[in-house]
Amino acid sequence: MNRRILIAGGVAAGASAATRARRLDEQARIVIFERDSHVSFANCGLPYYVGDVIKNRNELLLQTPERFKRRFNIDVCVRHEVKSIERKGKRISVQNLDTGNNEWHGYDRLILAPGASPIKPPFAGMDSTNVFHLRNMDDSDSLRAHVDTGKVHRALIVGAGFIGMEAAEMLAHRGIKVDVVELTPQVLPPLDPDMAAMVALHLREKGVSLHLGSGLEKLVAREGKVTGVELASGRRIDTDLVLMSMGVRPNVALAKDAGLALGPNGGIQVNERMETSDPAILAAGDAVEVVHSVTGKRVLIPLAGPANRCGRLAGEVAATGTGPSAPTVAGTAVVQVFDQTVACTGLSRKAAQAAGIEARHIIIKRPQHVGYYPGSEMMTIKLVYEPKTKRILGGQIVGGSGVDRRIDIIATVIHFGGTAEDLAAVDLAYAPQFGAAKDPVHIAAFVADNQDRGLVEHVDSEDVVSLAAQGYQIIDVRSPDEFANGAIAGAINLSVDVLRAEHHRLKPDRPILVYCQVAQRGYYAARILHGLGRDDVVNLAGGYAAYSIYKRAAEHLTVS
């Protein structure tokens, strides 16, 4: 008798599960039940369709029910929602959302891929015609149609996560004035504050108004439309459109009602083969808890990559009864924010501290390829590592071209439990237009290793004021011309090239903070002074470039 594999939910996890199962079992009867109107679409491309960068919506439709049937012999029922699971009888109740009819379908293996739903705060006015979410094709169609009327001059986005940042750029691309409201005091909460500050400043330079550290308090609606919002700070912002981008919650009601075990974070609990507490039922996607690559703990990471890979495994196990262990997930992500590329993987410094993991970090600024080849763009890399083991815990990068490649290298090292020494030893391709013989990730690893071996001690920009108050001598080791164009208050200029000859000018009874533009010459200066007998020298991480961003952020990115 042919195996019956039923799948509740399509898109990334469900569609990947279905096609993998078919490739491994040609005789199985495979059916996908999808409650939305589209079974497989590129949800990561939705903001770009709204922004008219992707002009043809059909390009976002990866598969249709007809293609699934023609190529894979998989039956797809859109607008059909799985309402309940009868585990003892191994059957599910499915409702046709267009007719209201319910039918029972038996299974040998059931795969749950219910995904996650946008967080919808309980505000009056949420049902207004100009309040939107951006989770599926219908959402993007509605939002784009509203923008296409030409009557939207100002838009407000609630939430400064990845989708919020993409939407901010795309709405600005359509000529709309954009306000972003974020409850936390920074954009892109997965980043550390110092890295997020660079993104925030860039957004403001592009005309986006940020309201950080103050959540949404109230929607002001009139005649079925929102005309403005009120923040917890008391501020009122007028708007023609509200996009809710406050994150998602896993859709676990179906699993919970069926008595399946949930994990510590409220997601569906699965084993290493994506099997739930009922071996006949598997699960994958945004509703499922996965194992974090660094902490080893169960977490919810609603990203397309893990959903696709875990869905593929669930399909294999459903079809064959066996399969490899589920991959761990580092939460690797990348987003384009106007002219910046922002990426992260693993743990931030603050996340490591919250997890109780001892962590140190370094910050470097390097061009994506050698400076003598035209078009080089700078990137800032923050590498977080565990001092006792030198294990890489995470990385964050903000820059231009080449950021995606570097974050993937760091993510790969994290996946294999690698150290700073391992990262420094990775053999990477080099040509002048692509990188450098010492790639930026190599430099980051070198700096982390130097710090861990006690060759240099780094301090952050936020530490400068307190160190000055403690009596540190602040020495700018750049050239006189650079110094004249801007320097830290109270610093004296002593170029690294004359430091050996002029070090006697430094007070012997006061510790020293050295800095240059991006910290490289500062490191040289610290080693020179160490060789001359000074063991009380620290180097400013990221140099004056990082410090100037920190100062601008402190001055302009205030809580609204």
Per-residue confidence (pLDDT) for residue 557, from 0 to 100: 57
**Which residues does 29 contact at the CB level (< 8 Å), separation at least 6?**
2, 3, 4, 5, 75
- The residue among 274, 271, 260 whose CA lies nearest residue 317 is 274
Per-residue confidence (pLDDT) for residue 556, from 0 to 100: 65
In angstroms, rounded to a whole number, what is the distance separating the alpha carbons of residues 395 and 382? 6
Per-residue confidence (pLDDT) for residue 559, from 0 to 100: 46
For 318-355, write each residue's pLDDT tens digit. 999 999 999 999 999 999 999 999 999 999 999 999 99
- How do the domains of the chain map onto residue ranges? 4-115+249-320, 131-246, 339-445, 458-556
Per-residue confidence (pLDDT) for residue 479, from 0 to 100: 97
Per-residue confidence (pLDDT) for residue 341, from 0 to 100: 97
516 is catalytic: no
Is the Cβ–Cβ distance between 201 and 194 less than 8 Å? no
Domain 458-556 in the same topology as domain 4-115+249-320: no
In angstroms, rounded to a whole number, what is the distance separating the alpha carbons of residues 244 and 215? 12
In angstroms, rounded to a whole number, what is the distance separating the alpha carbons of residues 136 and 1? 37
- What is the domain class of 4-115+249-320 according to CATH? alpha beta
Does residue 279 sit in helix, strand or coil?
coil
Per-residue confidence (pLDDT) for residue 560, from 0 to 100: 47
Domain 458-556 has CATH 3.40.50.300: no
- The residue among 546, 512, 539 whose CA lies nearest residue 524 is 539
The DSSP symbol for 559 reads B
Q: What angle do CA 258, 291, 295 make, to 5 degrees?
A: 135
Neighbour count for residue 33 (Cβ, 10 Å)? 26
Starting at the edge strand that comes first in sequence, how are the strands of the sheet with 75-78 ordered?
75-78, 29-34, 4-8, 109-112, 281-283
CATH of 339-445, one of 3.30.1300.10, 3.50.50.60, 3.40.50.620, 3.40.50.10540: 3.50.50.60
In angstroms, what is the C-alpha Rg of the chain?
27
In angstroms, rounded to a whole number, what is the distance separating the alpha carbons of residues 188 and 195? 9
The fold adopted by the segment(s) 131-246 is FAD/NAD(P)-binding domain (3.50.50)
In angstroms, rounded to a whole number, what is the distance separating the alpha carbons of residues 551 and 40? 46
In angstroms, rounded to a whole number, what is the distance separating the alpha carbons of residues 46 and 48? 5
Residue bearing tokens 């609603």: 302
For 466-506, write each residue's pLDDT tens digit. 999 999 999 999 999 999 999 999 999 999 999 999 999 99
- Which helix (H) or strand (E) segment holds residue 228: the answer is strand 225-231
Ramachandran quadrant class, 66 (left: phi over 0; alpha: psi -120 to 50; beta: rest): alpha
The separation between the first and the last C-alpha atoms of the chain, rounded to the nearest angstrom, is 65
Q: Residues of the chain whose pLDDT is less than 70?
A: 1, 556-560
- Taking the CA atoms of 126, 128, 132 and 137 in sequence, report the sign of the dihedral they define: positive
**Which residues does 540 contact at the CB level (< 8 Å), separation at least 6?**
458, 459, 460, 461, 464, 513, 514, 515, 519, 522, 546, 547
Residue bearing tokens 């009601």: 253
Cα–Cα separations (whole angstroms), residue 374 to 367, 370, 371, 377, 405: 11, 9, 7, 9, 19
Per-residue confidence (pLDDT) for residue 371, from 0 to 100: 86
In angstroms, rounded to a whole number, what is the distance separating the alpha carbons of residues 186 and 207? 17
- The residue among 147, 119, 117 whose CA lies nearest residue 48 is 147
In angstroms, rounded to a whole number, what is the distance separating the alpha carbons of residues 27 and 329? 33
**Residue of 44, 310, 344, 516 marked active site:** 44
The one-letter amino acid code at 557 reads L
Per-residue confidence (pLDDT) for residue 40, from 0 to 100: 83
Per-residue confidence (pLDDT) for residue 190, from 0 to 100: 95
Per-residue confidence (pLDDT) for residue 102, from 0 to 100: 97
